[in-house]
Homo-oligomer: A and B are copies of this chain.
Amino acid sequence: MTSITRISILLLTLSLTFFLAMSTLASAQGMKKQHAYKPCKQLVLYFHDIIYNGKNAGNATSAIVAAPEGANLTILAGQFHFGNIAIFDDPITLDNNLHSEPVGRAQGLYIYDTKNTFTAWLGFSFALNSTDYEGTINFVGADPIMVKTRDISVMGGTGDFFMHRGVATIMTDAFEGQVYFRLRVDIKFYECW
């Protein structure tokens, strides 16, 4: 073995090592990047909203509590509810059946905020309390109701969802006049702790 061969092998070792270190780092970043677009946790849940219409106090899970001056709070504030605030405490289920055993409650508010179509702004929390999950998930976002699927932000969580962040895709799964609607929520966490 000549010393040139020896030096070549050492240089090869060095460059190979450097390449390995770089690629390990790159793949770590790649994983983070991939991680970014591949959920580290995913949950599909449904919640059910029964709107108070003045006669269903027992069953109602939500109520319109504010409206522009002059509007009757229990009916439309204009055709598209502009300016209505509704507060809710809705059961969360694992499937689309209102009568399934709830795994928690969806609590917060939605606001109808367009004059010429149905759109809402959402601020709410999921308080989960089941054998599988214990903790809260906090959401905020715009909800263009007439679009098939809408993305809102999952901004934080507690308990089993401690510090989690993500995006939730919501879909209106049922809508029955002014009394009942059901949302399907596909929660994709991209930051898990």
On A, residues with C-beta under 8 Å from B are: 1, 3, 6, 9-10, 13-14, 16-18, 20-22, 24-25, 28-29, 36-37, 52, 54, 63-69, 72-74, 82-85, 87-89, 105, 107-109, 111-115, 119, 121, 123-125, 127, 136, 138, 140-142, 144, 151-159, 162-163, 165-167, 190-191, 193
Determine if B163 and A156 form an interchain contact, defined as CB atoms under 8 angstroms apart: no
Residues of B near A142 (CB, < 8 A) are 107-108, 125, 127, 136, 138
Within 8 Å CB of A84, what residues of B? Answer: 65
Residue with the greatest number of chain B CB neighbours at <10 A, chosen from A54, A68, A107: A68
B residues near A162, Cβ cutoff 8 Å? 167
Contacts of A107 in B (CB 8 A): 113-114, 119, 121, 142
Question: With a CB–CB cut-off of 8 A, which chain B residues contact A154?
Answer: 156
